[in-house]
Structure 1
Amino acid sequence: MDDFGLNQGINQAVLALAHQGRVQAVSCMVGGPAWAEGAQALRALDRCRVEAGLHLDLTECPLQPALRQPLGRLIVRAYLHRLDVPALRTEIRAQLDAFEQAMGRAPAYVDGHQHVHQLPMVRTLLLQELGRRYPAGGLWLRATRSPQGVAHADARTGFKSHVIASLGGRALSALARRQGLRQNARLLGVYDFTGGAPAYRARLERWLHAARDGDLLMCHPGLPTQAPDVLAAARQDEWAVLSAPGWADALAAAGVRLQPMGQILG
């Protein structure tokens, strides 16, 4: 579940789903307005059942406000190698520090808000810091590999999945292998955040039936909140589907068993 800490509605939805056994990973935005409050509740969850990871954020709530920039601009500057290296290194370290201080432990994994962790320059500095900070490894990284052959509801959804994977996913995986860091097999759950709850339910069923061992299903549920959020409607649609009584039946119909990724990867 992504974006924990961004607002209270997201925190409430993720924690409720975790208590129902429907969440195995929580990706944390340590610069989010609701992070401090959410971290306290997150610490109380059984870490053997729910992994907590750092959701590296450079576009919404970085700890250095001057570093914040729209995703499009960040992508261009990353590929032109025009990012501020000292500032970026400081931000990565600060976000890992903030996670450790709030949770009392290292993250079980690292991924990126809007998948920024795989961009040029970002991925290099991130893996350098992970190697320096956690020389024994142990954590895993989110891979954005697109699931080939999965039926998409529309061309836009399939295109978005491939675009995300193309923005540094292969290069990140190569760096991760050289450093001995584990990754999920493929990334499911990419869509355009439209269509309402019925469409999301249909997508979820397709993703579950397409899932293989080691795949990661990305979700963004949320409850209503006063905080501004461009994905508010989609988050509530996801919540409606993921919290519904039929969730166990959907898993059984697809032959899927959910498990923390760290345990799957061994």
Structure 2
Amino acid sequence: MPQPRLLLVITGDDFGYCPRRNQGIVDCFLAGGISNVSLLVNAAAAKEAADLAKRHQIPIGLHANLSEGTPVCQMLQKSSSLTDQRGFFHGKMGFRQSLESGQLCMKQVEMELRAQVKRFVELTGHLPDHMDGHQHVHVLPEVRDVFAQVMSDHRIRFTRVPVEPGLHSCQWLPEHLHSFYCQVEKDALDSMAVFRQNGIRWPDAYLGLTTMGQNMSVPHLQRALRLALAAGQMGGTPGGACVTAELMVHPGYPSHPQEGGCGDGPDDFSQSPERQHELSVLKEPSVAALLSQEKVQVCAFKDL
């Protein structure tokens, strides 16, 4: 392969969510469709996922979870600001609402994040290669400061900053998703200084919001890759150096009802046939041909 123009980490999120998600992610990795995974340590099949990563030598990071399922930290399982009366996290939007209303205790956020790093090490035998947030909670105000401190203390070098080139010109996202992603982008932009101050790095470009689920296709991937390259070059990547990027994906076989999840069963997202659509596209020879055509070298965070 000629000198690459783009080094691309393709991260399969939600590893550990259920056995079928695990199997799909492993199949995708073995087929060359992903290069990295992000583990939910509070998920039903987390131990199986960690064992699979060891067996197949899959580069693995931590998908820190403060919004779905139950806490890892035992002190927070009975009663905490992070959970409802049943002991479950408040959910993607519920977490954000609780944060905005000042109801979340940042000390408890820190306790849970440290407990999840500890569980990750217990499951895998090593620290994460990278650490990001399930449903992008890691870039939220206040949470980002705690997140960065925990990463810094454990010398975890890489995170995810979900600012996607071309998001605002994307024509196929429904309005509610576009609005949510734009808020995620704003929070991510505001997080950069915090991460930088703590010595935390991230790739030059992030991709995945415009190519999720049914929106995953070769033309959409080509658009995303070209925008990532242009954004990286505009961002000051030295001439002749490779631009780096992360592509977030969610491949898998749809979860069976009542099998998996993080304590209260799998959600609609995990049971959707869109998971298998992503898996099928990522395994297509046409994707490998696209990467070659665009001079993309697939790698893992530990290779950056």
User: Which TM-score applies when normalising by structure 2?
Assistant: 0.76
What letter is aligned with 2:170? H
Please tell me the root mean square deviation across aligned C-alpha atoms, in Å: 2.3
Match of 1:77 among 89, 95, 98: 98
- The reply on whether 1:165 has 2:185 as its aligned counterpart is yes
CA distance in 1, matches of 2:206, 2:195: 16
> Residue in 2 aligned with 1:215?
245
CA distance in 2, matches of 1:138, 1:240: 32
Instruction: Give the structure with higher Rg (CA).
Output: 2
**Residues 81 and 59 (structure 1 numbering): CA distance in 2 closer, same or farther, change over 3 Å?**
same
> Residue in 2 aligned with 1:58?
66
Shift of 1:171: 2.7
> Residue in 2 aligned with 1:3?
14
> Residue in 2 aligned with 1:37?
48
Residue ranges of structure 2 left out of the alignment (5+ in a row)? 1-11, 72-76, 78-82, 230-242, 260-265
CA distance in 1, matches of 2:268, 2:95: 19
1:110-130 per-residue CA deviation (whole Å, 9 max, x = no partner) reads 101110111122212222222
- The reply on whether 1:236 has 2:253 as its aligned counterpart is no
Percent of matched pairs sharing the same residue: 27
Residue ranges of structure 1 left out of the alignment (5+ in a row)? none
What letter is aligned with 1:215? A
CA distance in 2, matches of 1:117, 1:62: 17
Match of 2:131 among 105, 110, 116: 110
Match of 1:142 among 160, 169, 175: 160
* Matched position secondary structure for 2:297: coil
Q: Aligned pair count?
A: 255
Equivalent runs, 1:86-105 vs 2, <5 Å: 86-105=107-126
| Larger relative contact order (CA 8 Å, sep ≥ 6) | 2
**Residues 128 and 181 (structure 1 numbering): CA distance in 2 closer, same or farther, change over 3 Å?**
same
Could you tell me whether the CA contact under 8 Å between 2:25 and 2:251 is conserved in 1? yes
* Matched position secondary structure for 1:129: helix
Could you tell me whether the CA contact under 8 Å between 2:15 and 2:46 is conserved in 1? yes
CA distance in 2, matches of 1:170, 1:128: 18
1:21-58 per-residue CA deviation (whole Å, 9 max, x = no partner) reads 33222011001111111111112233xxx431110111
CA distance in 2, matches of 1:193, 1:140: 22
* Matched position secondary structure for 1:187: strand
User: Which TM-score applies when normalising by structure 1?
Assistant: 0.86
Shift of 1:105: 0.4
Shift of 1:236: 1.1
CA distance in 1, matches of 2:31, 2:276: 17
1:63-118 per-residue CA deviation (whole Å, 9 max, x = no partner) reads 24625012222112223432023322221111111101000000011101110111
